Chains A and B, each alone.
Chain A
């Protein structure tokens, strides 16, 4: 009995380790390819150790797409977007979680339903609007359209429902302003959810492709995914250079995720279960 359960747990660990390896291998492989010359991507047997071409690949990448400028665009857009969207969605989530007011349920239902509307239904009108306003190839075109992100509003509302109303009542009796209640009582109690939503928004914007592909035609204004895809579409591809770009696009999100994963996963747990 005991040996059979030991064997079973061995098999379980083995299966989980294989799963983890499958999940992580493409990242490792991409990072290795970024440090080797182009031809090594298809070498037999496969090259699985770092080479010495990382700097050369990054230099070539810079010649091709101006990686400094593209990286700046992505970081600039993602930072402003994450801060503004987090504020706007948290405020909205707070209103939905902690107040009763006329139209609350209807508005919340509309926000929830809008999550089902495919982004494709929006891009054509958004493109025409931006063109009419002269906003194509601008940062505001990349930042503004998705600031009120329904899923972030939903996530914040779910997490704020759990904050006891008594804390707010006590604050009101002590004469704390409405804004003060929000910033000094509510926000500190939902810190993990704030972290989770921030990562979510950061990842969404950093990885976003379809809208930047449409809103930006000027190479100077490309974000990383758009620049990468333009590079990959060329007839003669320098794979080392492309993989250097892929690694640069992937590394920040992974670092960000690893630093905050505890909050992220607990935030997901908080919303998925109550949802």
Chain B
């Protein structure tokens, strides 16, 4: 296209300027901080000592284990539910607008607001336990038992994010060619068979995309444990994100907190790489 060479740069300038100041610079700054100790303005370089500290820091390992335990259960559970919902929504003919809006609604609320709602619903004599008692399942110590507290986080996160992923899957499903299903119908394949042999394989790139997004989200988990469980009971829901916040803004140990931030950066990079590799090899 014939335009003056500087034109695109003018359109980009505000975004680039802001990006440089509030994103690129902090990323580098934070990297440098991860090699420093001290408080406030009195920071000094101490090489890898923060990184050494990780290995003997039990709280860090607890936080890491908690984060992974939540991630390994929550992400597949939610993505599978989202695909089921999308498939259901794709085959109903009435009320589609209502369903779509209802399922997506949780994704638009504030993390703090929904965490508060869930913490009240999940309390010992809260409405969820009343319901469970009424159907004969018995009350569950959602917020006071280390395992159930993780389940509470998983439940809340699944409620909030399933519809969001469902919309992405629905979009992708509507792009799958009808002729694949017609051919399968002629071959006499059942609906369940079609779901596993056509729908899921066709969605693979989108599943990868949502899996990476959800993994990144879980590794940064902060708002929910901060509000819902406060990291407890006895650190059972302390996530790396929360540990970082406590280190940085309760103890003002900015150096070590930056090290924790870079642990999250590296974990995200490694896990995304593995996810790309795993699905890439099969194609």
Contact = CB atoms under 8 A, between A and B. Distances in A.
B209 A257 contact: no
Contacts of A104: 8
Interface size class for chain A?
35 or more
Nearest to B94: A13
Interface of A: 9, 12-13, 15-16, 19-20, 22-24, 26-27, 29-30, 33, 41-42, 44-46, 87-89, 91-92, 94-96, 98-101, 104, 107, 111, 114, 116-129, 144-148, 153, 165, 168-169, 172, 178, 182, 203, 206-207, 209-210, 214, 224-226, 228-229, 232, 239, 242-243, 246, 249-250, 253-254, 257-258, 261, 265, 268-269, 272-273, 275
B282 to A, nearest CB: 20
Contact of A118 (B25, B118, B170, B264): B264
B98 A45 contact: no
Interface of B: 1-5, 7-12, 14-16, 18-19, 22-23, 25-27, 29-30, 33, 85, 88-89, 91-92, 94-95, 98-106, 108-114, 116-121, 123, 125-127, 130, 159, 163, 167-168, 170-172, 174-175, 206, 209, 216, 219-220, 222-223, 226-227, 241, 244-245, 248-249, 254, 257-258, 260-262, 264-265, 268-269, 272
A117 B30 CA distance: 12
Given A22-B159, A99-B1, A242-B116, A125 B30 contact: yes
Contacts of B245: 120, 210
Contacts of A94: 11
Query: 10 smallest A-B Cβ distances: which pairs?
Result: A125-B26, A92-B15, A99-B8, A207-B110, A20-B102, A125-B29, A121-B261, A269-B171, A148-B18, A95-B11
Given A121-B264, A122-B30, A272-B172, A146 B88 contact: no
B105 A257 contact: yes
Contacts of B29: 125, 128-129
Could you say which of B2, B249, B260 has the most chain A C-beta atoms within 10 Å of its C-beta? B249
Contact of B222 (A120, A124, A145, A275): A120
Contacts of A148: 14-16, 18-19, 22-23
Nearest to B268: A116
B264 A228 contact: no
A210 B30 contact: no
A121 B101 contact: no
Contacts of B248: 123-124, 127
Contact of A119 (B98, B99, B119, B220): B220
Given A16-B92, A257-B108, A250 B121 contact: no
A275 B268 CA distance: 20
A25 B98 CA distance: 14
A30 B110 CA distance: 13
A268 B168 contact: yes
Contacts of A122: 22-23, 26-27, 30
A23 B159 CA distance: 7
A67 B245 CA distance: 26
